[in-house]
Amino acid sequence: MMDVPALVSQAREGKPRAVARLISLVEGASPQLREVMAALAPLTGGAYVVGLTGSPGVGKSTSTSALVTAYRKRGKRVGVLAVDPSSPFSGGALLGDRVRMSEHVSDPGVYIRSMATRGHLGGLAWAAPQAIRVLDAAGCDVILVETVGVGQSEVEIAGQADTSVVLLAPGMGDGIQAAKAGILEIGDVYVVNKADRDGADATARELNHMLGLGEARAPGDWRPPIVKTVASRGEGADELVEALEKHRAWMEEHGVLQERRTARAANETETIAVTRLRERIADLHGDRRLTALAARIVAGELDPYAAADELVKGLTSA
Ligand SMILES: Nc1nc2c(ncn2[C@@H]2O[C@H](COP(=O)(O)OP(=O)(O)OP(=O)(O)O)[C@@H](O)[C@H]2O)c(=O)[nH]1
Ligand SMILES: [Mg+2]
């Protein structure tokens, strides 16, 4: 068994090994998970969580690295979480990330973690928020969460960030893809990366049009900015940080940050509760209570709704 209070205080001091141990404990659904989460709770809430999503190869990792540099210049401690929902291993694309992050690995003000979530209990929705909590409690001012891949996972990750950045690049047919994946609804800030390539202006225009940014909005509404970057040269990273800070200020001013965090906590709690109920039902299955109820349904003595009521009663009183 780990000495959780000692690990937590070492993590607070920025010891990377302690942070890594804590993440492993919460990731692996260790028996000490509860103890860890209870110890972390009072230490969380200080970090600003930014999600970065976009099609494979658009430049998420390169942009993340450029953002790390920009935030480090501002004296911020930065956590990076690279989430790969498609792979059961933290290999593949994430290996390339190590290379792209290499200039930051020896920086004690930067903590980098990769996480594969396929085959994970409860998937992305379950695994990522726990790791974010650890990084938050460890004193990261900013946590950058990169999701590899497209589709539902991106939308899921967006639900876990304070601010969601959607990246596109010229000539990738991204506009249409983006619309299909529904990511036009989740972006708070848009990035047209690879602006050194032809077609960046056209992509920005198309995006502007699709987002209806030309249309009038109610005063006080957030108008997602489109930032052009050349992440591989660090160009536009400062503008991106400014756009992020503006969004954060807007959220704070309008109570949106609190709203989003509350919604996130509610979802997380619901997921945990449902998982616990499932486990208990499975236990009942083991002790044949569920099977006995099912047999009564088959015999025509009970309908499934009444059986479910009995089952739920048994769960909450246990
Ligand atoms: N020309 C150009 N290339 C870039 C730019 N940004 C990133 N790249 C290159 O694009 C390729 C993909 O970049 P990554 O940062 O790995 O992209 P990613 O979105 O993280 O990719 P996955 O994690 O595999 O989905 C790399 O070869 C980068 O060097 C840019 O602004 N301009
Ligand atoms: Mg990447």
Instruction: Please report the domains of the chain, with CATH numbers, ordered by start residue.
Output: 46-253 (3.40.50.300), 270-316 (no CATH)
**CB of residue 87 inside a 6 A radius of ligand 1:** no
Tokens of 301: 């003595």
CA–CA distance, 34 with 22 (Å, rounded to integer): 12
SS3 content of the chain, % helix, strand, coil (to 5): 55, 15, 30
Could you tell me which residues are beta bridge partners of residue 192?
Answer: 168, 228
Along the 318 residues of the chain, how does pLDDT read in single tens digits? Answer: 789 999 999 999 888 899 989 988 887 777 888 899 999 999 999 999 999 988 888 899 999 999 999 999 999 999 999 886 555 444 444 445 555 667 777 788 899 888 766 555 445 556 788 889 999 999 999 999 988 655 555 556 667 899 999 999 997 665 555 555 566 778 899 999 999 999 999 989 888 888 876 676 777 889 999 999 999 999 999 999 999 999 999 999 999 999 999 998 898 888 888 888 888 888 877 778 888 999 999 999 999 999 999 888 877 654
Which are the contacts of 5, defined by CB distance < 8 A and separation ≥ 6? 39
**CB of residue 193 inside a 6 A radius of ligand 1:** yes
Question: Can you give the pLDDT at residue 28?
Answer: 73
User: How many helices and strands, by DSSP H and E, does the chain display?
Assistant: 13, 7
Nearest CA to ligand 1 atom 14: 59
Question: Can you give the pLDDT at residue 207?
Answer: 86
**CB of residue 61 inside a 6 A radius of ligand 1:** yes
Which are the contacts of 225, defined by CB distance < 8 A and separation ≥ 6? 189, 190, 243, 246
CA angle 141, 84, 173 (to 5 degrees): 100
The answer to whether the CB of 243 falls within 8 A of the CB of 190 is no
Closest ligand by atom to 62 CA: 1
Burial (Cβ within 10 Å: 0-12, 13-18, ≥19) of residue 178: buried
Residue 16 Cα, ligand 2 centroid: separation in angstroms?
Answer: 22
Task: Give the phi and the psi of residue 149 in degrees, each rounded to 5.
Answer: 95, 175
Query: Which residue spans within 137-249 are E strands per DSSP?
Result: 142-147, 163-168, 189-192, 226-228
3-state secondary structure of 225: coil
- At what angle are helices 123-137 and 16-27 packed, to 10 degrees? 150
**CB of residue 88 inside a 6 A radius of ligand 1:** no
